[in-house]
Structure 1
Amino acid sequence: MGERDELVRELRLLSELDSTQTAVFQQAAAAQYGLGVTDMKALGIVLREGPRSAGELMSDLHLTSGAVTGVIGRLVTAGVARRESDPADGRKVIVTVDVAGLAARENVYLPIGDAFDELYAEYTVEQLRFLAAHLVRSTEITREQTAALHRGLGS
């Protein structure tokens, strides 16, 4: 086996280890808020993309309507999100971030963000560009493969 093959093998293993460690971290972080990982992912989507309808969250997270109703309820109960009626269609629920509720909680993501900032400080601009491009494509591949799995499950 050549060096390239060995490196690809190592990258596959490291990606799996990184994915597992990220999932374990996300679980621990969510528990600090009294929430589950899916709840925190929904909150992250609303933080990044702005107010989302329940239907959009269903699609984003590949959840059933009942599951997304539970997620929204837990976020509202935790005081980190609000459930509002869509002004254009009162039958639709819009989820928004409760900024004051979120700000009142400790941000358990700050230490890991700081640690990654320290790591990224070691890289050149070119290396950072490569890492960013890799993560963009990696995210696209994962999204595509997730969709394929869901299609295979008939969801």
Structure 2
Amino acid sequence: MADREELITRLGDLGARSATMTALFQQKAAASYGLGVTDMKALDVLMRGGAQTAGQLGTALSLTSGAVTGVVDRLVKRGLAKREADAGDRRRVVVVADFATIASGANVYQGIGEAFRELHQSLTTEQLAFLVDYTERSIALTEQAIDELP
């Protein structure tokens, strides 16, 4: 078995490779929908977080108001999102994911999602708990690093 420092080094290398492979997959997946990676990340924010104002979406993705307008325009044009009046304040407009349109089309994420689900099914409950904890802590570290960038 490798020693502790070798394992730490290997984890760093694997993390970098995983990040690169994820970025490449996201780029190719987004292109298959005629979108960019930022557009797909915006759609993910809408799907997970619900209705957002353009300002909220821009903040979530660190985008300027002009950039977020372009993102929303592209999502709306492809029928993946809609602009709607805010139920709480009819003067405001929110952007919502169009789940019906999303579900009716091809899903390039389905294959990889099934493969990961199969991988996760092969793990013990203890292994899954460790991975959940590790991933949550990794996300927190990444969020902190994002906040510290200029």
Quick one: distance in 2 between partners of 1:119 and 1:86? 41
Encode CA deviations 1:29-76: one digit per residue, 9 max, x unaligned. Answer: 111111111000010111111111111111110000000000000000
Structure 1 length normalisation: TM-score? 0.91
Question: What is the aligned-residue RMSD (CA, Å)?
Answer: 1.2
Quick one: distance in 1 between partners of 2:90 and 2:54? 13
Which consecutive aligned stretches of 4+ in structure 1 deviate over 3 angstroms post-superposition? Answer: none
Quick one: distance in 1 between partners of 2:63 and 2:125? 38
2:141 maps to 1:141: yes
Gaps of 5+ in 1: none
Amino acid at match of 1:43: L
Quick one: distance in 2 between partners of 1:13 and 1:23? 15
Task: Tell me the CA shift for residue 89 of structure 1.
Answer: 5.2
Gaps of 5+ in 2: none
Matches within 5 A, 1:70-81: 70-81=70-81
2:12 maps to 1:20: no
Task: Tell me the CA shift for residue 86 of structure 1.
Answer: 2.5
Structure 2 length normalisation: TM-score? 0.94
Of Structure 1 and Structure 2, which has the larger fraction of its residues in strand? 1
- Count of residue pairs the alignment pairs up: 148
Quick one: distance in 1 between partners of 2:20 and 2:93? 33
Other structure's SS at 2:63 match: coil
Other structure's SS at 1:51 match: coil
